[in-house]
Structure 1
Amino acid sequence: MSDILDEIVIEDVVANCPQEFLQYHKCIRDNEENPGKCKDGRMILSTCIREKVPSVKSIMSECSEPMKKYDQCIRDNMGTRTINENCLGFLQDLRKCAELQVKNKNIKPSINGVNLELIKD
């Protein structure tokens, strides 16, 4: 389910924030040596995702507690570079919650409420 979750969210982002997504990734491609130049594009894309992407909005609403715990763990362990060891459990809890949102609400990528079908091989 984890790969499907990632695919659904990415498809949803591309469907609902296409210009922001393309501009940010073009900036990253063009500035491989200094991706910090893309900070503004990252912020614009992040705002679009939070405001317009149904799957992300649902996950952020319903999974706020695991998200807060994971975020706090990252902050607490940033200086010691022990995020992988100490925060993996919190990340797994967050992903489980997100997967439940996608599964239980049958979330699929959509544009303006019109569902898009994922293309499967």
Structure 2
Amino acid sequence: MMSQLDQFIMEDVARYCPREFVEYHKCVSSNRDDMEKCTFRQRDLSRCIQGKVPSVKRVMEKCGSLMQNYEKCVRENMDTRTVNNCVPLLEQMRSCASEHALQGTITRPINEMVKDED
């Protein structure tokens, strides 16, 4: 099940990188048996996300060190299959991301915003 954070960031990516988002997902759908064919699309999407998506920029700015710690933990524990040791770091990173991703955004439901315009 997708969390609110995941949903928000996914919508933000689709809003700011629509072409790259669609092209990547079309490629994945067409190449399920050989994902390497989509590497260039994934790179395009990644570049767009890093450059244009405000929520991701905020998360990277505020939570980048936590993300680096988590990635380091995963790399160090991959061979011994003890990646579960990294779950607390993942939880810290997600908590930080949840705190910062929504900053500066409107968080009221759209139907409430429409009422204000009447």
TM-score range (shorter-chain normalised) is 0.7 to 0.9
Aligned residue number for residue 31 of structure 1: 31
Contact 1:101 1:107 in 2 (8 A): no
Aligned residue number for residue 98 of structure 1: 97
CA distance in 2 between partners of 1:64 and 1:76 (Å): 18
Aligned residue number for residue 58 of structure 2: 58
Contact 1:24 1:45 in 2 (8 A): yes
* Counterparts in 2 of 1:61 and 1:108: CA distance versus 1, 3 Å: farther
Aligned residue number for residue 42 of structure 1: 42
Contact 2:56 2:101 in 1 (8 A): no
TM-score by length of 2: 0.83
User: Are 1:88 and 2:84 an aligned pair?
Assistant: no
RMSD, matched Cα: 1.8
Aligned length: 107
Q: Which runs of 5+ in 1 are unaligned?
A: 110-116
Question: Which moves more between the two structures, 89-98 or 71-80?
Answer: 71-80
Higher Cα Rg: structure 1 or 2?
Answer: 2
TM-score by length of 1: 0.81
* Higher RCO structure (Cα 8 Å, ≥6 apart): 1
CA distance in 1 between partners of 2:29 and 2:81 (Å): 27
Contact 1:16 1:52 in 2 (8 A): yes
Question: Which moves more between the two structures, 67-76 or 48-57?
Answer: 67-76
Aligned residue number for residue 17 of structure 2: 17
**Alignment partner for residue 105 of structure 2, among 104, 107, 112?**
107
Aligned residue number for residue 114 of structure 2: none
Residue type matched to 1:97 in 2?
A: C
Q: Which runs of 5+ in 2 are unaligned?
A: 111-118
CA distance in 2 between partners of 1:96 and 1:3 (Å): 12
Residue type matched to 1:107 in 2?
A: T
Looking at secondary structure, tell me which structure has more helix per residue.
2
